[in-house]
Amino acid sequence: MTHSHIAAGRATITREIEGLAAVSEALDSTFVEAVELVASRKGRLIVTGMGKSGHVARKIAATLASTGTPSYFVHPGEASHGDLGMITRDDAILMLSNSGETKELEDMIGYAKRFAIPVIALVRRAESMLVAAADIPIILPDVPEASPTGAPTTSTVMMMAWGDALAMALLERRGFTNEDFKVFHPGGKLGRQLLKVADVMHGPEAMPLVQRDENMREVLYKMTAGAFGCVGVVDNSGLLMGVITDGDLRRHADSALLDHSADEVMSKHPKTILGTRLAVEALGMMNEKSITSLFVVDAQERPVGIIHIHDLLRAGIA
Q: Is residue 120 part of a domain?
A: yes
In the structure, what pLDDT confidence band is assigned to residue 224 with cuts at 50, 70 and 90? confident
Please, which residues have CB within 8 angstroms of residue 47's CB and are 6 or more apart in sequence?
57, 58, 60, 61, 64, 71, 72, 73, 74, 93, 94, 96, 163
Q: How open is the CA angle 190-92-88, to the nearest 5 degrees? A: 105
Closest to 97 measured CA to CA, from 156, 18, 28: 156
CATH at 52:
3.40.50.10490
| Residue range(s) defining the domain that contains residue 235 | 197-314
Q: Is residue 192 part of a domain?
A: no
Spell out where the chain has E strands.
Answer: 45-49, 71-73, 92-97, 119-123, 136-139, 209-211, 230-234, 240-245, 267-268, 272-274, 293-297, 303-308
215/303 same-domain check: yes
DSSP state of 233: E
- Give the whole-angstrom CA distance, residue 206 versus residue 158: 54
The answer to whether 95 and 119 have CB atoms below 8 angstroms apart is yes
Q: What is the pLDDT of residue 3?
A: 77
The answer to whether 118 and 93 have CB atoms below 8 angstroms apart is yes
State phi, psi for 188 to the nearest 5 degrees: -90, 165
On the question of pLDDT at 217 being above 80, the answer is yes
On the question of pLDDT at 207 being above 70, the answer is yes
206/172 same-domain check: no
Buried b (16+ CB within 10 A) or exposed e, 167-181: bebbbeeeebeeebb
- Give the whole-angstrom CA distance, residue 66 versus residue 185: 8
| CA 132 to chain CA mean position, Å | 37
157/8 same-domain check: yes
Q: What is the pLDDT of residue 32?
A: 97
- Give the whole-angstrom CA distance, residue 100 versus residue 315: 47
Per-residue pLDDT of 2-23, as tens digits, reads: 778 999 999 999 999 999 999 9
Q: What is the pLDDT of residue 259?
A: 82
Per-residue pLDDT of 154-196, as tens digits, reads: 999 999 999 999 999 998 888 766 565 555 545 555 555 667 8
On the question of pLDDT at 222 being above 60, the answer is yes
Q: Is residue 185 part of a domain?
A: no
- Give the whole-angstrom CA distance, residue 74 versus residue 109: 13
Which of 176, 211, 239 delimits the end of a domain?
176
Please, which residues have CB within 8 angstroms of residue 223's CB and are 6 or more apart in sequence?
208, 229, 230, 231, 244
| CA 217 to chain CA mean position, Å | 48
Closest to 61 measured CA to CA, from 120, 21, 18: 120
Per-residue pLDDT of 289-310, as tens digits, reads: 888 889 999 988 899 999 988 8
